[in-house]
Amino acid sequence: MSFGLARGKTLDITGVGIDSADLPTTDVAPLIDPREWFGERASLPLEIEIGSGKGTFLVQQAPQQPDVNFLGIEWAGEFFRYAADRVRRNGVPNVRLLRADAVELIRHRCPDAVCTVIHLYFPDPWPKKRHHKRRSIQDQSLRDFHRILRSDGELRIVTDHDDYWQWMLEHVARAEAIFARGRFAPPGAGNPEESELVGTNFERKYRREGRPFNAMTLRKR
Ligand SMILES: C[S@@+](CC[C@H](N)C(=O)[O-])C[C@H]1O[C@@H](n2cnc3c(N)ncnc32)[C@H](O)[C@@H]1O
**All structural domains of the chain with their residue ranges:** 17-220
| CB 112 near ligand 1, within 6 Å | no
Asked if 49 contacts 72 with a C-beta cutoff of 8 angstroms, the reply is: yes
Considering only residues 6 and 18, tell me which one the structure prediction assigns the higher pLDDT. 18
If you average pLDDT over every residue of the chain, what do you get? Answer: 93
The Cα 86–Cα 89 span in angstroms is 5
Whole-prediction pTM value?
Answer: 0.94
Q: Per-residue pLDDT averaged across 175-200, rounded? A: 78
- CB neighbours of residue 138 within 10 Å: 15
Asked if 50 contacts 73 with a C-beta cutoff of 8 angstroms, the reply is: yes
| CB 60 near ligand 1, within 6 Å | no
Residue 76 Cα to ligand 1 midpoint, Å, equals: 8
| CB 84 near ligand 1, within 6 Å | no
Q: Per-residue pLDDT averaged across 17-36, rounded? A: 94
The DSSP call for residue 52 is -
pLDDT for 217 equals: 96
- Beta bridge partners, 119, equal 49, 156
Question: Where does the pLDDT of residue 2 fall: very low under 50, low under 70, confident under 90, or very high at 90 and above?
Answer: very low
Considering only residues 13 and 207, tell me which one the structure prediction assigns the higher pLDDT. 13
Catalytic-residue membership of 124: yes
Considering the four listed CATH numbers 3.40.50.10090, 3.40.50.150, 4.10.80.400, 1.20.1260.10, the one that applies to the domain covering 17-220 is 3.40.50.150
The Cα 148–Cα 146 span in angstroms is 6
Residues 6 or more apart whose Cβ sits within 8 Å of residue 38: 44, 46, 69, 94, 96
From the list 33, 124, 162, 163, the catalytic residue is: 124
The answer to whether residue 192 scores a pLDDT higher than 60 is no
SS3 state of residue 54: coil
pLDDT for 8 equals: 65
Question: Where does the pLDDT of residue 4 fall: very low under 50, low under 70, confident under 90, or very high at 90 and above?
Answer: low
